[in-house]
Amino acid sequence: MSTVWWWFALAVVLLLQNYPNHLIYTRMFMTVVRDVENVEIMLQQITHPLLSAVMVLSGARTMCGVRDSCSTCSTAASRRCRGWRCSCWV
């Protein structure tokens, strides 16, 4: 019967030692998960305006390139006079 009590005491000691370690591990794990979620939310909030800005800027750059390559508006004086009202935009 003494071996049963010895195993029982060992089990109780291990369980009592495991409970605080489990709480510490769980708190650390939840902090890491929360930090990762915050980074994910930040990236989602940044991505949409950034993609929109890139599309607007690339569209504006394309339109400026098309306008600059127009044969009727090729001189600086005609671009200065007519601007975006060039006949090639109609």
Q: What per-residue confidence (pLDDT) applies to 3?
A: 92
Radius of gyration of the chain (CA): 35
Mean pLDDT to the nearest integer, 67-74: 58
- Where does the pLDDT of residue 10 fall: very low under 50, low under 70, confident under 90, or very high at 90 and above? very high
| pLDDT tens per residue across span 33-70 | 999 999 999 988 988 888 899 999 888 888 877 766 65
What does the pLDDT read at residue 62? 84
Answer yes or no: pTM beyond 0.85: no
Q: Which residues contact 53 (CB under 8 A, 6 or more apart)?
A: none
Token pair of 85 as six digits: 């009202």
Tokens matching residue 80: 């200065």
